[in-house]
Structure 1
Amino acid sequence: MPNLKRNNKLTTMKFQQAVLLTVCLAATVAMEGCAVPRTPPQFPDAASASPAGGTFVNVANLRNVKAGLNKDQLYDLIGPPQFHEWFVGNHVWNYLFDFRRGDQVVSCQYQVQFDKNMRVSATYWRDPQCAEFVREAAAPAAAATPAGNETKAAPIEQFTIEGEALFPFAKSGLDSMLPGGRAQLDAAMARIRAQADTTRIDVVGHTDRIGSDESNRALSQARAQTVKRYLVAHGIDAGRIRADGVGPAQPVSDCPPGETPAVIACLQKDRRVTISVYGRN
């Protein structure tokens, strides 16, 4: 009998805990309001952001937020929402981003809305003028070219080489380059040499979203530098080549979340090296 009473007591306690958890979850949803898209958008009180006061965002990543991204892709670009909207079912994520204007820090509320398939359908700024902070990020690149050596707005030649064609998995060295990738690079160099007025060549390495941002950026940078060394070794002026790695920051695929073999195959387009050739006006 004592054991039976003890078992009944444990069962009652577990039931009470389950009821309490259900009530707490229901209260949370009631307080946070399982957010749904509204037009015009409704923004939460900025004082309720976590972390308080907002956070500085990677502007280059923010510029890549487009309609059609799923929640995993959005998370990879700009992180989780900052207004307790992380639970399943929310169709709205809100952010409080900080930007620098001279010596001042300006905070801006940003909202992302999702459609019924949980893909980005629209984005909004509480203050429309905040969009200028994102547009301004592209200006320095255009102004960086010395006077008298301006480049066209668009490249005169552009090449994309798939990562798997160029390097084995996780490799980036010159001695590990695959024959198929070398052949594509040789064909690209022939086209580049045919351009008489080339002023700049941008080599950019890219990765997919799988793995840490730090390791992906390092791998993409190493591969871009290897491609640059290959071009220089075959007669392309090193002073005209810029090599950079952006990791997973500029995806071109539209793949579901997860890391299954099917998803990894879908992400192949993101694992690439691009070569953009610019010339005089």
Structure 2
Amino acid sequence: MGRIGQKLGIDFVVSTGDNFYENGLKGVTDPSFLQSFSNIYTAKSLQKQWFSVLGNHDYRGDTLAQLSPLLRKIDTRWLCLRSFVVNAEIVEIFFVDTTPFVEDYFRDPEGHTYDWRGVEPNRKRYISNMLSDIESEMKESRAKWKIVVGHHSIRSVGHHGDTRGLVRKLLPLLQAYNVDLYINGHDHCLEHISDSKSTIQFLTSGGGSKAWRGDIKRIDKDDVKFFYDGQGFMSAQFTQGHVEIAFYDIYGKVLHKWVRSKQFHSDI
């Protein structure tokens, strides 16, 4: 990852959640922050800003610790917020806190304890406000490319599959505001699904931890452009009218590449 980062001259890194496995952080002084982040990503090319969202495993620990500015004092690269927007000039990235959309975590937590501070006692209002804020930001956006990043998948053939709450509530916004890419983690694989009903590309980059599960729900040859049940990562490069996505294995070998160009009309 460090070698590819140097080759591409990356501007920043995006983490799709489950930042600290298996049960998040115990607090701001938890040594896991150094052991699983600062002391791991030491390559010179990775000394850039990291933008992170929370995953369901992060919610099983001290959620507020990961959001705390105290961690940024320990490692200035770290930035994790619930939902936020990054304006990277021609690209605008909308980060979404997807874990509260999954009803099963509230109804049947399977013996796990979740830290819902900031979400409960009114989960529905939390989600409604978040969607309203996202829509407002998308309405104002003049970026050439729009990307949405969340932990859970909207479309996936991996172990977890599609996330029903996101399909119902978030996907319509992506379609209405012509989002180009939806990038997620959660499923421990690398995956590219092209939506036949729109121009949205669904990209799973969850190959940073567990992998090789051998658990594929279904294969739709028309939509699934790539699936790799192993460890790895992805990159995204943008110009005004061009995007190039690449998936890599842990050795930096390109496993899949996707390129698209599109025309933009001047507002003048």
TM range (shorter): under 0.3
Larger Rg: 1
TM-score (norm 1): 0.26
Structure number having the greater helix percentage: 1
* More relative contact order, 1 or 2 (CA 8 Å, 6+ apart): 1
Structure number having the greater strand percentage: 2
TM-score (norm 2): 0.27
